[in-house]
Amino acid sequence: MAQRDPDRDHRSNRNRRRTSVTGLDQALSTRPWDDQPDRLKGDLRTDVALECGWGRLLFGQTFADHEALIAEVAKEEPGRRDICMYVREPHVAVSKAPQELFIDPSHTYRLWLHTLRPGAEPVRGVVVRKMAREADADAVNRIYTEAGMVTAPTETLWRNQLTQTFTYLVAEDAGSGEVIGTVTGVDHTYAFNDPEGGTSLWCLAVDPQTSRPGVGRALVRTLAERYQGRGRAYLDLSVVHDNAPAIALYEQLGFVRVPVFAVKRKNPINERLFAAAPAQGIADLNPYARLIADEALRRGITVHVTDAESGLLRLPHGGRTVHTRESLSELTNAVAMSRCDDKRLTRRLLADAGLRPTHHYLIHPNPWPKPGHLKRRWHGHPVFPALLALGGQLELRSNFGLYVLEFKRALELAGRPDAKVVSFRGESEAISPFEAKYLASGHTLERLTVNLENS
């Protein structure tokens, strides 16, 4: 990368700073809804994407249109995390690829470097310095790992620190000599000839095991002072909206919020930023239903667990809702059939909805007449108590008299001795084509009724 004359760069940016900090309304980076005037674009480099190792930094103001930006974002490699900052009309960009992109729920804070005053005494026991050897890059990756961040190839970190575009600082424990913190700075002037003379801060991380206080503050302040020394106008950073401790630190250091937004790609690393919070009961789903729920969340689809035990889900998205049971959906009749076929599920669904049936029927169930098939019959199956718990009036109709008598005896054993059994032969009594056919041939059918309302 060609380097510019630092002295000339310092003078030009010092003059530029006097005009660019007069108000946010004059800053190109904070007015993403306006057309970019030619006087501000100047010698702006185009389609700038800086390789950081853990991903790329894409500067939105260097792309001619959203289509070019979206095409570049699509090049993100698996396991990496690209970030697009200063995107013109970010909501419009996301609307053109809603399945791929999202607006990062982070705030952008800016420190106007002309307001930076000499700090108090340095943090005791902490020395902040530039990355000086490849071992420092290894230490940076160790801290990234401990902080749950995406790591970067050591050679990429080392190669970047040899340029003036990147500034890698590390905080060293003065006692042990161990690296206990790191921060990355990007100089926008060297990156893309920024007419505003801006800079940005990335990847602030502190070893969670260190007992030294003030490491993060020392890193941020040192980076700001270095860019102030170059005559830069401001230092930007992005912080997740609910990271209250970090936000408090930045505000204490003089950072203020600015209307700048980041756009990112929907990928597993960013999932917690764009996916809905896990639905209540999602942890209780079986593995097959959990696969459907997790994939729906990744795609931005809301997940409601209707019944965790059976894997029933409700998936609303936009103006449409689809019910599923594991890999089945209500686009066929399989889900509806399973709701009725499994009486334990039927009971739970009705109870959750605050409903009880007034009548329910067993219409000519399979009698399973062999002695070894008792547990396949309704009254011999473990689901029998759930059937009775539905309440209402239950009616059993069958052409097997013995089946009906067994069912009545099971009711008596369950504390329901009031069941009534009657025989009928008239075709007018039929409630199904099967019964009409059976009665027309002169057969007698049995009907059992019992009121379960108090069961």
14: tokens are: 């010092």
C-alpha 239/C-alpha 275 separation (Å) is 18
In this prediction, residue 45 carries a pLDDT of 92
Q: What is the pLDDT of residue 351?
A: 82
What does the alpha-carbon distance between residue 191 and residue 48 come to, in Å, rounded to a whole number? 8
> What is the average pLDDT across 259-285?
87
pLDDT for residue 5? 47
Rounded to the nearest integer, the mean pLDDT of the chain is 87
- Mean pLDDT along residues 393-398: 94
Give yes or no for residue 228 having a pLDDT over 90: yes
Question: Residues 376, 380, 382, 388: is their CA dihedral positive or negative?
Answer: positive
Give the single-character DSSP code of 172: E
* Domains 1-274 and 359-451 in one fold: no
Residue 349: phi, psi to the nearest 5? -65, -40
**Which of 256, 213, 257 is closest to 116 using CA atoms?**
256
Q: What is the pLDDT of residues 27-67, one digit of tens each?
A: 667 666 666 666 556 688 999 999 999 999 999 999 989 99
Q: Where are the domains of the chain?
A: 1-274, 275-341, 359-451
Element (H, E) at 56: strand 56-59
269, two tokens: 């690393």
What is residue 1's predicted lDDT score, i.e. its pLDDT? 41
From the options 3.40.50.150, 2.102.10.10, 3.40.309.10, 3.40.50.300, give the CATH code of 359-451.
Answer: 3.40.50.150
The secondary element (H helix, E strand) that includes residue 143 is helix 134-146
Q: What is the per-residue pLDDT for 418? A: 92
Q: Span 1-274: which CATH code?
A: 3.40.630.30
**Confidence bin at 26 (pLDDT 50/70/90):** low
Q: Which residue has the higher pLDDT, 181 or 14?
A: 181
User: CA-CA distance, 303 to 349, in Å (whole number)?
Assistant: 17
**pLDDT, position 233:** 96
Task: State residue 421's pLDDT score.
Answer: 95
Q: Is the predicted pLDDT of residue 13 greater than 80, yes or no?
A: no
For the segment 156-176, the average pLDDT, to the nearest whole number, is 95
Flag whether pLDDT at 7 surpasses 50. no
Quick one: what percent of the chain has pLDDT higher than 90? 63
The partner residues of 237 in beta bridges, in order of sequence, read 109, 201
Q: What is the pLDDT of residue 390?
A: 85
From residue 404, how far is each of 15, 374, 423, 425, 438 by CA, in Å? 98, 13, 11, 16, 17
Give the model's confidence band at 16: pLDDT under 50 very low, under 70 low, under 90 confident, else very high.
very low
pLDDT, tens digit, 9 for 90 and up, residues 233-258: 999 999 999 999 999 999 999 999 99
Cβ-proximal residues to 161 (8 Å cutoff; 6+ apart), any chain: 130, 131, 137, 167, 168
Cβ-contact 328, 334 below 8 angstroms: yes
User: What would the two tokens of residue 67 be?
Assistant: 């289509």
**Cα–Cα dist 7/115, whole Å:** 22
- 25-34, 136-145, 327-336: range with lowest mean pLDDT: 25-34
Instruction: Say what the pLDDT of residue 264 is.
Output: 96
- Cβ burial, residue 386 (10 Å; 0-12/13-18/19+): middle
pLDDT for residue 24 is more than 60:
no
Question: How does DSSP assign 433-448, residue by residue?
Answer: HHHHHHHHTT--EEEE
Identify residue 408 by its one-letter amino acid code.
K
Q: Are strands 445-451 and 420-424 parallel, antiparallel or unpaired?
A: antiparallel
Percent of the chain with pLDDT over 70: 90
Distance CA 328, CA 330 (A): 7
- Sheet of 359-363, strands arranged across: 359-363, 393-398, 445-451, 420-424
Paired sense of beta strands 312-317 and 304-307, if any: antiparallel
